[in-house]
Structure 1
Amino acid sequence: MLDALFARAIWSVLIEPGDKVAGALIDAVGPVTAARLVIDRVAPQTIADASRGEIEIDRASEGLRRWTERLRASDVMRSLESAARCGARMLVPDDAHWPEPLAGLGHSAPVLLWARGDVELLRRPGVAIVGARAATGYGEHVAMELSAGLSARDVVVVSGGAYGIDGMAHRAALASGGATIAVLAGGIDRFYPSGHEALLTRVAEHGLLLSEVPCGTPPTKWRFLQRNRLIAALSAATVVVEAGRRSGALNTANHALELGVPVGIVPGPITSAASAGCLAFLRSEPSTCVTSVAEIMQLAFGLDGVLDVPEPVPATAAAEGGDRRDAHHPSATREDPMHVRVLDALRPRRGLDPSEIARAVGESTDRIRAALGVLELEGRATLGADGHWRRTPAARERAAAGGAGARS
């Protein structure tokens, strides 16, 4: 068991959240054997053979290149030491507190969860309350009322710890004497945003902080987007209170639909930009308009909304909704995830070479060079005379505009 636990700690350092190739290998041979294959730097064919056909040779080759970029014993030990200092607990799929709904994520399920607080909350029914960072007074008031109402019904409030709707959902749950889980995009020893340090400290003391990335890991736009799938998976329903057209809260809603988790949308004024994404989602996706705690309980637990109903009500026709997006839907145009991750790693002043970027992103140097070439053509990255890459000022402004939603 100790070998398996340590192997999963190694994997949490080697991969980025949602790495399906790593997940397929671990599912096929177990975390210990999978880690040994990487440490021994075996040939891609060996990885493909070990996966029993789940992983093709080219994907195995790409996986090995990106994993070996981070293969440093010191990084693994540093993450474990940081976890010990902050009192973090490691949860693995064999643990009694491991959330069973995470199995719905398939090969992209976390290899390990780092937790601070009351892990018993993972065995209780929960509902996600999410929304935009730039929330209005209306949105915050609704989030407070819904979170307090769910807490009174013994439902765990799940959210992402961000400013705006997320923060209000956590505060209202704590103030009502209820339970709340904050799923973070970075390590649980690094509170982000920093302005929520006091709030997240209270969540750790009276609720639960959860993350799939090791302690010491900074949050990035990509990790925020991947974090959202955990929020959806941990909940019997996902409720979006407010969301602009590019809000990351809609990313959480999309993950919920993919998992068969019902999605509730709180309507807002048609004149409010903060509700534009909610109204568009209601029009184009299989979701339900909710306006009260009773309606959320019915959406999540069926019938009269009491918690002893054995089966959550699945979202109807979720699988059929994937192509029904109009040109104005927030997910109609998606940026290449690799470009997002490389842009996250680049700095405007301090230059980085491709190998440094590869370690930060968790990809092979060859793929990083290819992404840098595209970003250079788009004017978002520049190669200096010193041979190092930097993010252009225009790219920084674009990232700030797009990242606001992703961090919701």
Structure 2
Amino acid sequence: MREVGEEERKARAALTRIVEPGDETVGRWLRRTTPVQLVQSLVGEREMPTGVSEEKFEGLRLRATRLDVVNKPAEDLAAVAALGGRFVCPGDDEWPQQLEDLEDGRPIGLWVRGRANLRLWALRSVAVVGSRACTEYGAHMAATLGASLADRGWTVVSGAAYGVDGAAHRGALAAEGATVAVLASGVDHAYPRGHTELIGRVAEQGLVIAELPPGDHPTRSRFILRNRLIAALTRGTVVVEAELRSGSLVTARRAAGLGRFTMGVPGPVTSGLSAGVHQLLRGEAVVVTNAAEIIELVGSIGDLAPVQRGPVLARDLLDPVASRVLEAVPARGGADLRRLARDSGMAEEVTQGKLFELQSLGFVQRGGAVWELARMSTAASTGRQGGP
């Protein structure tokens, strides 16, 4: 990777105050000019770049005139450094390359708070998102998935919101694992306020990242734009409870559009909070119920989830012929050899041999010429109720 110079870093820091996250128009401009030249143009020190919409440019210039481009970027960089953080730019060793999938909508830079390496953590990361007003079931599932994924060495990424997001972060923290909170505000501005302590814990144990500079506040549109970052940063997105108009569905569908895995945890079909998840599961998403199933999708070859099986009954171990003979024995009363041979479709000598075999195994008993289910036989061992 190329080395990002201090002048470019300050210019990108300045642009995070001037430009809204995900502005694809500015992203296209940056393919034709450098961040330094763009900032100089916006503050009137340089002519407007060619091929740029004058109306759009003047709007950004109004925002830029309120910015002290000499001192403010340095102040922001110092503010994040005081929090133990940094400003990561495209070209830095810590820059996650998967963000390039956003093309012109990629972040201008990321304000990062925490000690871990963002690029390394993002390589094995899963987003767990969902409803803010989740049920106890949703909170339990999010926390369980967060803890289980973290315990298996995966980074849990979410938005630090109330409900599912907070539960997922807490689960990862409880497992002493890796978790990343992606904010729609500055990394020093905890939002929601009620999660100030949680976001502080994430910053200490994991990472808090944002596209907006220190001190900046969230808006409705910034939450939606933040979701694209969660989708691009991770290898897959899991939705735990979401209504039909939930922002979590925006994250999931953006993830699918970027070629990431999209997963959903089913809930009660009578619950409106699971209606959005179920809609996803009818189309682009895959059902998951635990961390092993998630890792089977997003992990490496060989990361297979254990096959889910019901309890093994004794009759499951019988060969097919013995099973057919056992099925022919009436649930109540008994039957003679001829009837059992007829009902099982076997020759009498074969039926008789299998009946003696079933008798030795405790499935049937004989009373004269009549065969019946053993009185001690139970539904657990035979799958049928034996005797009155």
CA distance in 2, matches of 1:185, 1:281: 25
User: How many residues are treated as equivalent by the alignment?
Assistant: 294
CA distance in 1, matches of 2:67, 2:139: 45
1:81-133: CA deviation from partner (whole Å, max 9, x where unpaired): 54344343100011111011000000110001000002414313100001110
Alignment partner, residue 56 of structure 2: 63
CA distance in 1, matches of 2:174, 2:119: 20
Alpha-carbon distance, 1:42 to partner: 6.1
Aligned AA (1:291): T
Aligned AA (2:43): I
CA distance in 2, matches of 1:47, 1:178: 49
Alignment partner, residue 222 of structure 2: 223
Alpha-carbon distance, 1:291 to partner: 1.2
3-state SS of the aligned residue for 1:140? helix
CA distance in 1, matches of 2:294, 2:242: 18
Identity %: 43
CA distance in 2, matches of 1:111, 1:247: 27
Runs (4+) of structure 1 exceeding 6 A deviation are: none
User: Does 1:111 find its partner at 2:108?
Assistant: yes
CA distance in 2, matches of 1:302, 1:98: 22
1:341-382: CA deviation from partner (whole Å, max 9, x where unpaired): xxxxxxxxxxxxxxxxxxxxxxxxxxxxxxxxxxxxxxxxxx
1:378-401: CA deviation from partner (whole Å, max 9, x where unpaired): xxxxxxxxxxxxxxxxxxxxxxxx
CA contact (8 A) 1:121 1:156 kept: no
CA distance in 2, matches of 1:170, 1:190: 18
3-state SS of the aligned residue for 2:63? coil
Aligned AA (2:246): S
Aligned AA (2:253): N
CA contact (8 A) 2:128 2:239 kept: yes
**Could you tell me the TM-score, scaled by structure 2's length?**
0.72
Alignment partner, residue 87 of structure 2: 90
Question: RMSD of the TM alignment (CA)?
Answer: 1.7
- Equivalences for residues 142-291 of structure 1 within 5 A: 142-283=141-282, 285-291=283-289
Alpha-carbon distance, 1:17 to partner: 0.6
Alignment partner, residue 73 of structure 1: 67
- Equivalences for residues 358-377 of structure 1 within 5 A: none
CA contact (8 A) 2:40 2:46 kept: no
CA contact (8 A) 1:37 1:47 kept: no
1:240-286: CA deviation from partner (whole Å, max 9, x where unpaired): 01101111111110110121111001111001111011011222x32
Q: Return the match for 1:99 from 68, 83, 96.
A: 96
Alignment partner, residue 47 of structure 1: 50
CA contact (8 A) 1:121 1:207 kept: no
User: Does 1:21 find its partner at 2:25?
Assistant: yes
The structure with higher relative contact order (CA 8 Å, sep 6+) is 1
Alignment partner, residue 293 of structure 2: 295
Structure (1 or 2) with the larger CA radius of gyration: 2
CA contact (8 A) 1:22 1:63 kept: no
1:174-218: CA deviation from partner (whole Å, max 9, x where unpaired): 110101000000001110001001110000011000000111110
CA contact (8 A) 2:132 2:161 kept: yes
Structure 1: which 5+ runs fail to align? Answer: 49-56, 307-408
CA distance in 2, matches of 1:30, 1:104: 20
- Equivalences for residues 324-343 of structure 1 within 5 A: none
CA contact (8 A) 2:77 2:87 kept: no
Alpha-carbon distance, 1:40 to partner: 2.4
1:42-80: CA deviation from partner (whole Å, max 9, x where unpaired): 666x431xxxxxxxx5xx223212211211233835544
Aligned AA (2:235): A
**Could you tell me the TM-score, scaled by structure 1's length?**
0.69
CA distance in 1, matches of 2:149, 2:164: 15
Aligned AA (1:67): L
Alignment partner, residue 383 of structure 1: none
CA distance in 1, matches of 2:79, 2:291: 39
- Equivalences for residues 120-135 of structure 1 within 5 A: 120-124=117-121, 125-135=124-134
Aligned AA (1:63): K
3-state SS of the aligned residue for 2:50? helix
Aligned AA (2:58): R
CA contact (8 A) 1:128 1:158 kept: yes
Aligned AA (1:173): A
CA 1:107/1:68 → structure 2, altered by over 3 Å: closer, same or farther?
A: same
CA contact (8 A) 2:236 2:262 kept: yes
3-state SS of the aligned residue for 2:263? strand
CA distance in 2, matches of 1:169, 1:161: 9
CA distance in 1, matches of 2:134, 2:267: 12
CA contact (8 A) 1:188 1:209 kept: yes
CA contact (8 A) 1:89 1:115 kept: yes
CA distance in 1, matches of 2:37, 2:225: 26
